[in-house]
Amino acid sequence: MNLQTRLAEGQCIIMDGGTGTEMEKRGVPMEEKGWSASSTITQPDTLRQIHEEYIQAGADIITTNTYSSSRHVLEACDLAEKFVEINSTAVRIAQEARENVADRPVWIAGSISTTTFGQPQPPPQVAQANLNDQAEILAAQGVDFFVLEMMRDIEYTTIALNAAKRTGLPVWVGYSTTINREHQVQIDYVQEQPVLLEEAVKLLSVEDTPLISIMHTLVEDTGPSLAILKDHWSGYMGAYAHSGKFVMPHWHFIDMISPAAYAAEAKKWVAAGVQVIGGCCGIGPEHIRVLKGTLSE
């Protein structure tokens, strides 16, 4: 049974939690301008173990450690010559983890993001070429579908979507949201004219992407964001929130939500119509284990 069939049947699908933050929690050094970009090739055994732990915790989907592996991010880290190696290796390690421990179907999501970690966005044509190349590598190496993560504006979301769609693989889109002073839900980006979530959703159609997630969003903002998404979106919904705070280049594990409390919130999201659920930064294997158990009750 494939993912689309499971979604069509109304099943709940469990994603993994954060990968980069788990690497950091285990002592893996982070790049000053690219966070976990190099860890795929410097600490492959740790990365493989994290994927394995998520599968053993109950994840149906594991995500490649390629969120910060676009060419322009790697260039800022003086790692441009490692672009193909880092992206290819990330898929291979995820596949090895699946082969090592999976006793049921597990899918591999290829992560693509437009995040630049404080560096200026490249010109649109450069970003398009770079993300095209990244998507082609991930697809050629064998990811099952793409997740566009932390989409935070219209122009570069379109660029990432175009890059992933070129491969012919399914594409899921993840918006990072916040609630502004006017109590509106906006995609989380500092702009003169912030983009409201409903405006960002209008960019997409179910032909482009069967599923939109609210991801890398505060737990307390996720429910209100899902309510707006549900009002403006006819496709499937996902949710994977974060816990803690990012101060470049480190994730700070402060005010962390417990696995039980996270699972309790997730039950509310599922009741609101979410079918794909997991965790983002700060959410680890134990959160996913408790989440899986809670949703299976």
Domains, the chain, ordered by start: 3-296 (3.20.20.330)
Residue 116: band (very low, low, confident or very high) from pLDDT cuts 50, 70, 90: confident
Output the pTM of the full model.
0.96
pLDDT per residue over 239-273, tens digit each? Answer: 999 999 988 778 889 889 999 999 999 999 999 99
Average confidence (pLDDT) over 149-167: 95
Q: Is the pLDDT of residue 278 over 90?
A: yes
Rounded CA separation 79/38 (Å): 8
155-161: long-range contacts (C-beta < 8 A, 24 or more apart)? 155/124, 156/114, 156/121, 156/124, 156/127, 157/114, 157/200, 157/203, 158/203, 159/114, 159/124, 159/127, 159/128, 159/131, 160/112, 160/113, 160/114, 160/131, 161/204, 161/208, 161/209
Eight-class DSSP state of 43:
S
Residue 191: band (very low, low, confident or very high) from pLDDT cuts 50, 70, 90: low
pLDDT per residue over 21-70, tens digit each? Answer: 999 999 999 988 888 989 999 999 999 999 999 999 999 999 999 999 99
Query: How high does pLDDT run on average in the chain?
Result: 95
pLDDT per residue over 212-236, tens digit each? Answer: 999 999 999 999 999 999 999 999 9
Query: Is 69 strand, coil or helix?
Result: coil
Provide the token pair at 249: 């280049």
pLDDT per residue over 83-106, tens digit each? Answer: 999 999 999 999 999 999 999 999
pLDDT per residue over 128-145, tens digit each? Answer: 999 999 999 999 999 999
Please tell me the predicted confidence (pLDDT) of residue 118. Answer: 79
